[in-house]
Amino acid sequence: MSAETLEGTASPEAIRQAKEELDAHVREIVAWHFSPETGCPFWLNKAQELGWDPRSEIHSYEDLSKFPLFEDEWLRGGPLQRWMPKGLEGKPVYVFETGGTTGIPKSRINFDDFRTDYSIFADNLPDEHFPKGANWLMLGPSGPRRLRLAIEHLAQHRGGICFCIDLDPRWVVKLIKKGWMEHLEAYKEHCIDQALTVLSANHNVQCMFTTPKLLESLALKLEEKGSSIREAGIKGIFSGGTEFTPQWNRFAHEELLDGAYMTPTYGNTLMGLAASAPSGPHNDYKISYYAPQPRAVTEVVSFDDPHQKVGFGETGRVKLTTLTKEFFMPGFLERDEGEREPPFEKYPWDGVSGVRPYSKLSGGTTVGVY
């Protein structure tokens, strides 16, 4: 079956137009990062190492494959100033970290990207499930994480206030690695207790971000108390993570949510936030993610050749590219795999479904920790 014959898939014209916009955006971003007036030291030095000028060589998205694959190790340690574009000099800077349970975490600087990404996402949330002006609960990681501030911004963007909990995911990873499962349970309970306190305090919380594990714990705790997610006032949830499988999605809808709405998302500090095409009983709760193009692009590439896309429906490794004036990340191989999805009406570019930890790496990764 071709993409065009599927209901809700993108028209050839929409696909062509999106591709043109992407190519133009690529040229703009490359010009920005490799110009001495606006670029950052890291990429200006890299251009010298490469021995060619990306501004004259890169004309389209495909041309980005002339760069070597982006290595996330480049993000470890300081000075962070090497990542600061000269064109944004003087603006307040945030630093967001990933990992860091042991050793030096990877860092990404941010000026406004987290706000921009989450504003775009927020504008696409359905009002009937995420009422404007309602307050939010951020039941997820705190600390030096982009997600924490991004959700708060999302709530503010929709006219609400965000209530947060304290949750240190690095401690959670340590507990798992040490096998201290009782401590892990106690810590999870500690997090859920904080959430229950917020929900019981008459704060008009109707929307929530959380992770699959915490949603499950919250729903079960509420059920134990004779209540439910819905009865606690929650109307809309967005959630994410590689544990967000179709089966879990169905289980949550059938047994945890009590009619509350939930939409899956996929993202990280380096890329931003990919939204999901509608999923439910009509498509066996299949989850397909679409990156916020042209600011970020996801591809599904061959395990053997990261420059070769797999066919639609075929399995490969997820490759991310970030294209903003704050951060340029061409061709980063994510620690996940999935199936390539055809362009969708609302998102006329490639998507990815069935996202799960990359099988060859998953043995050494602790996933879904909070």
Residue from 51, 92, 103, 179 binding another protein (CB under 8 A)? 179
Q: Near another protein by CB under 8 A, which window of 49-57, 62-70, 241-249, 298-306? A: 241-249
Q: Does 247 bind another protein (CB under 8 A)?
A: yes
The token pair at 341 is 């999805």
CB of 244 to another protein, least distance (A): 11
Instruction: Write down the least CB distance from residue 97 to another protein, Å.
Output: 26
CA dihedral 222, 223, 226, 231 (to 10 degrees): 60
Q: Which residues pair with 205 in a beta bridge?
A: 135
Single out the residue of 69, 201, 220, 361 in contact with another protein (rule: CB under 8 A).
Answer: 220
The answer to whether residues 340 and 311 touch, using CB atoms and an 8 Å cutoff, is yes
Q: Does 252 bind another protein (CB under 8 A)?
A: yes
Please identify, using beta-carbon distances, which residue of 301 and 369 lies nearer to another protein.
369
Rule CB under 8 A: choose which of 40, 138, 175, 256 binds another protein: 256
166: which DSSP letter? -
- Sequence-separated contacts (24+) of 186-192 with Cβ below 8 Å: 188/213, 188/214, 188/217, 189/217, 191/139, 191/165, 191/166, 191/167, 191/217, 191/370, 192/217, 192/218, 192/221
- Which residues have C-beta within 8 Å of that of residue 89, sequence separation ≥ 6? none
3-state secondary structure of 176: helix
In the complex, what is the shortest distance from the CB of residue 223 to another protein, in angstroms, rounded to a whole number?
Answer: 8
Among 99, 105, 246, 306, binds another protein (CB under 8 A): 246
Position among 74, 187, 251, 303 found at the interface with another protein (CB under 8 A): 251
- Specify whether the CB–CB gap between 204 and 175 falls below 8 A: no
> Cα dist. 103→67, 78, 98, 109, 179 in Å?
28, 13, 11, 19, 20
Q: Which helix (H) or strand (E) holds 97?
A: strand 94-98
Size of the site for another protein (CB under 8 A): 16
Closest distance to another protein from the beta carbon of 90 (Å): 48
Coil vs helix vs strand at 55: helix
- Report in angstroms how near the CB of residue 258 gets to another protein at its nearest: 13
Q: How many CB atoms lie within 10 A of CB 295?
A: 22
Q: Is 152 in the site for another protein (CB under 8 A)?
A: no
359 binds another protein (CB under 8 A): no
Window 96-125: residues binding another protein (CB under 8 A):
none
216 vs 299 by CB, closer to another protein: 216
Please report the DSSP string for 311-326 in residue order: PTT-EEEEEEEEE-SS
150 vs 252 by CB, closer to another protein: 252
CB nearer another protein, residue 73 or residue 182: 182
Nearer to another protein, 104 or 186 (CB): 186
From residue 270 to residue 289, the character string flagging contacts with another protein as x (rule: CB under 8 A) and all else as - is --------------xx----
Binding site for another protein (CB under 8 A): 179, 181, 185, 216, 220, 245-248, 250-252, 255-256, 284-285
